[in-house]
Structure 1
Amino acid sequence: MQFIDSCPSTNVLSNVMDSEELTSEYEESTLSVEIPNLDSRITEYNDLCTTARRLHASYLFHREKISTDAAAQLCQKIYINMARRIGGTIDNLYTSGWKDLGYHLGLTAEEINYIDNSMKACPTESILRVFCQGETSNFEQIIQSLIKMERFDVIEGIFDPLKSLLDILNNTDSDQGYNSNSGNDTMIKPNYFANNLPEVLRWSKKDDVESKETDLPIAMMKINKPCILLTYFDDGIDIAERIYKTIQNQQVVNKQINVICLENEKLDVLTNPEQYIRYYFDEVNYVIPILTEGYLKTIRSPMAVCSSSTNNIDCSYARFIYTLMSSDYINGSGCINRKVRCILPLGINRKLLVELSKNPLLAVWIWENQIDKLISNLFR
């Protein structure tokens, strides 16, 4: 896999290391990096998180103010290693790139789409700058996100310089460009952070990461029975309604099954769509996509929130749910499909079966008139 060297600019890089050293290091940063004794290494990552919890994420950009001290050079190296490894990866079924990192760090789909379509800057830098606006945004959240994404290559690239940076900051007075207090719970922040983001990406204090993790509606807090999530696009609405009724008609003879359609809980979903969908995605037993032509076109779209001709919120977030499905398949279950079960409309163009056969998430499906058998088999 070829990585695109587009994120850090040449004049920034030259402050830390010469071009030959950068090229050599860059060629080594691939997704094929194997981590010996990964379990014990993850324990070391978690130990680093405990220390990094007090270090504000805006240290990633501390290099812009002071380019001569050791801390600034370490900050620069951490940023470069992250930007190259993350920015050189395409988000798809098999890899987690900058968009996936953005979702893990709490950015909304709208913010990620804006960065993707309207900004010329390195997208990895942009999502990190947005994240750094949070009052409590820290390096622990970054590392934990990378662990969930299984981007251990990125963690390895920042592990040593981050440890060195923590050592310096924990033993330095606050008059050298940082604000370090002795309290165990005090966040260590740089004295300088230039928020040069466009207005549409700027957070007010009430919008920071801590505030985005608000309590979920009471109705979302517990799912006490088997549960499925239907996902579909405009041309699958009628099929979704038939499937919903079929499952409801089975309740008398079958155990109670909760069927979630976002449209049925629209008012709650719209309070925080990404948080709501992520919560239910993790909680449900199965996700059932309806593989219409419109749905397949939608998941190929680069937009996380796709244009729908209806006001149905399931259609609007079909692409976002597919991204979660792909991430779970790769990072959550080791390429074993434990969660996704597909429904195929009876009248679908048979040529699309070739396309489905190339996608391991969608390759196994049943016809829509077999939904009763599928549900019976899933919850025997």
Structure 2
Amino acid sequence: MTEVQSDYADTDTISVDTLVLEQMVQKERAKEITELQSLSKKVCFLHTNLLYYRHATSAMGSACYQLWVTLLKKVGGTRNGWRELGYSLGLSQDDLNYIMHSVNEDPVDVVLEVFRQNDNATIDKILDALTKLERYDILKSIEKPLCEIAQYFNKDDSGYQSKSTGDSVKREIVTIKLPCRLPAPLSKKVIIDHKDPKKPKQLRKAATTDEPIVNDNPILFLTYSQDGFPTALNIQEYVANWLDIPDVQVITLNNRREELYQNPEKFIREYFEKADIIIPIITTGYIEQIRSHNPAVPNTSDNLDHKYVNFIYNLIVNHYIHASGCLNKRVRSVLPQNANADLLRSIVMYPDLMPWTYETNFDEQFKAFLKK
């Protein structure tokens, strides 16, 4: 072999050497692909809901977030990647068309949201879809967080094993309860009429602004600019995992898009009044929005939460000055995990946005606020 490698003057020898290298590369590639394909076995009992578990101070929450954000980045980095993934996961053509023409959020995220409505929407089905699409680059990029998540549930005493049949053991699907943030046309959630169980199931209807808003449960009203969306998403997940304060409603305008369109100002004013806590998410974009507000220049953003930042901020100012006499009892701002010193200096200039807390302390602080 040494003689073959040293005889570079012989073109036939070079061809043989190249062939050997190519075979070695193909062998290694085949081995890597086999290992990536085996990833689905690790998570075949984990529901896709876990992708949306958020807890800023836990390793598992970090792994879930990393898996979610990597999928969005990698799938979204390919033209029509979201559509191919959605088709492979069984989304209907009507759903895919609606996402393309009527949804302004990240289409990859919406595809995952639609898919996770299925009780059997386990993570391995996403991996199988990526394998079918031969997206081994994506599988490789999510391998680490995927294995980190799986290890939390691969324990004999985890409590997630069901009764065995023969020699095989079927594990129950591990999931968490999360709210549906999809618009009505994409929501597959159904309700059952318990008075008449035989009555056909119907899609849950969204409340209209003409109906009175019942404040049976605590309400948190988020307001944020475009760069505050990740933190808004995290907050919704934090609240969804509260067990000691259940059924807290988290209101965002994008999640109530169809209701908002009927009468935006009325909808916002009503929920502003009903909310227990108004939560501005303070980012660079948010500060820029409230500083540069010019009534003569309409905000044409498709992101409704971003579009109405100034409208809601004016409500905050009026409430702070006129309703509460400069006593801030309902506004509690949140700064993202990556907030810098400039942002801290900026918020000091706005007493109506005080007090504030870091996202990492959200659970502790806001539970305390609601229990007062």
Report TM bin, short chain. Answer: 0.3 to 0.5
| Structure number with bigger Rg | 2
TM-score, normalised via structure 2 length: 0.42
Higher relative contact order (CA 8 A, sep 6+): 1
TM-score, normalised via structure 1 length: 0.41
